[in-house]
C-alpha cells in the first residue's frame, strides 16, 4: 500500500512545470519606465537554444506588459536585460519513452541582470525552471521549461 502511495505521489509531483527565483541583489529601484529594452541571452551550448529562450522571455515580457518591444542589437537602450544561461538539460523524446519519469526533467538555469542606461544594476537573480518529468503530463518538452523560464523571469523582475 505504501509503495502504491509513493508511486502516486511521484507521478503527481512530476506532472507540472516549476520554477524558482533566487534574488542575488535586493531590488534597488523601480523598473525603468522605458518601453523598449535590449535583451541578451548567452551561454547556451547550441545557439538555437539561446534563440528559443530569447523568444519565450520576450513573449513573457510582452504578455506581462513590462515592455512594448526590444531594440535591435548594437543600439543603445534605456534598460538592458542580460540572461547568462548556466545550464540547459533537454531530455530527448527517446529518453522520455524509454525511461519515463526516470529520464528526469527538462531544465534551464540562468543568472539574470537588469541594468539601466547608466549601468546601474536594478535587479539580479538566479532562475531555475523545469518541465514535468512524467511522459503523460503533457508538459514534458523543453519548450515547456522555456515557457516556465519566461514566466519566472517576469516574477523576478517584479
Q: Which CATH number covers residue 50?
A: 3.30.160
Find where cell 544561461 sits.
85
Note the pLDDT tens digit of each residue in 120-157: 898 999 999 888 655 544 444 667 788 888 998 998 88
Report the range of poorest mean pLDDT among 35-39, 95-99, 110-114. 95-99
The answer to whether 106 and 90 are in contact (CB under 8 A) is: yes
Note the pLDDT tens digit of each residue in 6-44: 444 444 444 455 677 777 777 667 777 668 899 999 998
Q: Which pLDDT value is given to residue 30?
A: 73
Pairing of strands 36-42, 79-89: parallel
pLDDT (mean) for 43-64: 91
3-18 core/surface letters (b: 16 or more CB in 10 A; e: else): eeeeeeeeeeebbebe
**Where is pLDDT greater, at 110 or 28?**
110
Report the range of poorest mean pLDDT among 75-84, 97-106, 144-153. 97-106
The answer to whether 100 and 135 are in contact (CB under 8 A) is: yes
Query: Range of 115's domain?
Result: 2-157
Spatial distance between the Cα atoms of 100 and 93, rounded to a whole number of angstroms? 10
pLDDT (mean) for 104-109: 80
Please enumerate in sequence order all residues whose Cβ is within 8 A of that of 95, keeping only pairs 6 or more positions apart, or say none. Answer: 103
Mean pLDDT of all residues belonging to the chain: 77
Residue 111: helix, strand or coil by DSSP? strand
Count of domains observed in the chain: 1
pLDDT (mean) for 91-97: 60
Amino acid at each position: 500500500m505504501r509503495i502504491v502511495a509513493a508511486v502516486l505521489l511521484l507521478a503527481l509531483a512530476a506532472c507540472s512545470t516549476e520554477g524558482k527565483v533566487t534574488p542575488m541583489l535586493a531590488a534597488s529601484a523601480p523598473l525603468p519606465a522605458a518601453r523598449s529594452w535590449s535583451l541578451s541571452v548567452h551561454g547556451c551550448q547550441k545557439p538555437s537554444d539561446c534563440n528559443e529562450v530569447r523568444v519565450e522571455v520576450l513573449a513573457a515580457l510582452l504578455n506581462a506588459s513590462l515592455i512594448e518591444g526590444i531594440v535591435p542589437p548594437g543600439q543603445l537602450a534605456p534598460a538592458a536585460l542580460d540572461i547568462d544561461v548556466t545550464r540547459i538539460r533537454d531530455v530527448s523524446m527517446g529518453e522520455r519513452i524509454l525511461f519515463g519519469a526516470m529520464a528526469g526533467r527538462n531544465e534551464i538555469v540562468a543568472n539574470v541582470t537588469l541594468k539601466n542606461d547608466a549601468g546601474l544594476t536594478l535587479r539580479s537573480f538566479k532562475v531555475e525552471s523545469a518541465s514535468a518529468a512524467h511522459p503523460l503530463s503533457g508538459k514534458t518538452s523543453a519548450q515547456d521549461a522555456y515557457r516556465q523560464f519566461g514566466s519566472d523571469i517576469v516574477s523576478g523582475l517584479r
